[in-house]
Amino acid sequence: MNTSIIFDMDGTLFRTETILEKALDETFHFLRKNEGWEGDTPIEQYREIMGVPLPVVWETLLPDYSVSVRGAADDYFLNRLIENIRSGNGALYPGVTALFEKLTAMNCTLYIASNGLIPYLEAIVSHYDLHDWITATYSIEHIETLNKSDLVAHIVTTHNIQDGFVVGDRLSDIVAAQTNGLTAVGCRFDFSQEEELRQADHVINRLADLPDILSKSHISVEGN
């Protein structure tokens, strides 16, 4: 039996904090130099909204700035994130590639659904050679609503998914699973929140725990 697993990227597969603070610091240095920003980089405020689409990030962090300034910050931040990935400053969570190999052997089809932008996701997938296991990577840019549930619905429709899981660390991932008739697996990782995880169907503390959940859900393993 084939099953589909849709993974979030930031805070689920990719340890975003390894490049986040550096890229955000670089961006706000740019804003201090060019747009009159005063004060420290609002890293804690960003952590509170981690996982939302970038337009929402800049509306939150730069509420008193123009759309053009927010756009400039968005472009600069994206470029710095990508450069840090390509420079090897980022990291996957432990066991990602081993997990993908095991899930592929279990006859699972893997997808990524992320609020990240297309170039950012492509940089991660390319740098860590995830193309070998991931059938398709979907960015929030692929839909007009900037809503994670709609993005997962797009994947479900495009690939005619009948049975599957969404694995992620935030409420948007959990809701996206459940509104599309899929099973929600919450990840108790760096940016997760306990009150959000309580709404998941399952919760894992490490990616290596995922195959056990699949097995308990009566997903057949090839050869068994």
> Are 104 and 123 contained in the same domain?
yes
Span 182-209, average pLDDT: 96
Binned at pLDDT 50, 70 and 90, residue 223 comes out as: very low
- Domain shared by 107 and 81, yes or no: no
pLDDT band at 1 (very low <50, low <70, confident <90, very high): low
Task: Specify whether the CB–CB gap between 199 and 183 falls below 8 A.
Answer: no
- Say yes or no: 161 and 80 in one domain: no
pLDDT in tens, 141-158: 999 998 999 999 999 999
Smallest CA-to-CA distance from 46 within 92, 7, 8, 77 is with 77
Residue scoring higher pLDDT (101 or 217):
101
| 223 within domain boundaries | no
- Quick one: pLDDT at residue 31? 96
In this structure, what token pair is assigned to residue 165? 């899981």
How confident is the model at residue 149, as a pLDDT? 97
User: How confident is residue 96, by pLDDT bands cut at 50, 70 and 90?
Assistant: very high
Same domain for 129 and 79, yes or no, is no
143 found inside a domain: yes
Nearest-angstrom CA–CA distance, 136 and 5: 11
Same domain, 82 and 103: no
Residues 114 and 176 in one domain: yes
Q: Which of 86, 114, 133 is the last residue of a domain?
A: 86
* pLDDT classification of 48: cutoffs 50, 70, 90: confident
| Residue 124, pLDDT score | 97
E strand intervals along 133-211? 134-139, 164-168, 183-187, 202-204
Residue 137 shares a structural domain with residue 155: yes
201 pLDDT above the threshold of 80 = yes
Is there a single domain that holds both residue 35 and residue 128?
Answer: no
Of the candidates 151, 105, 205, the one whose C-alpha atom is nearest the C-alpha of residue 7 is 151
Interacting residues of 81 by C-beta distance below 8 A, sequence separation 6+? 19, 20, 23, 120, 123
Burial class (CB in 10 A: 0-12, 13-18, 19+), 124: buried
Number of structural domains in the chain:
2
Please give the pLDDT value at position 224: 40
pLDDT given for residue 217 in this prediction: 80
Final residue in a domain of this structure, among 71, 86, 101: 86
* Percent of the chain residues topping a pLDDT of 70: 96
Q: Is 122:137 a contact under the CB 8 Å cutoff?
A: yes
Q: Which domain CATH number covers 110?
A: 3.40.50.1000
Same domain, 146 and 169: yes
Range of the domain at 9: 3-15+92-216
Please give the mean pLDDT across all residues of the chain: 93
Residues 117 and 82 in one domain: no
Residues 115 and 8 in one domain: yes
Chosen domain end from 42, 63, 86: 86
Is 224 a member of any domain? no
> Does the structure show a pLDDT above 60 at 221?
no
Q: Is residue 173 part of a domain?
A: yes
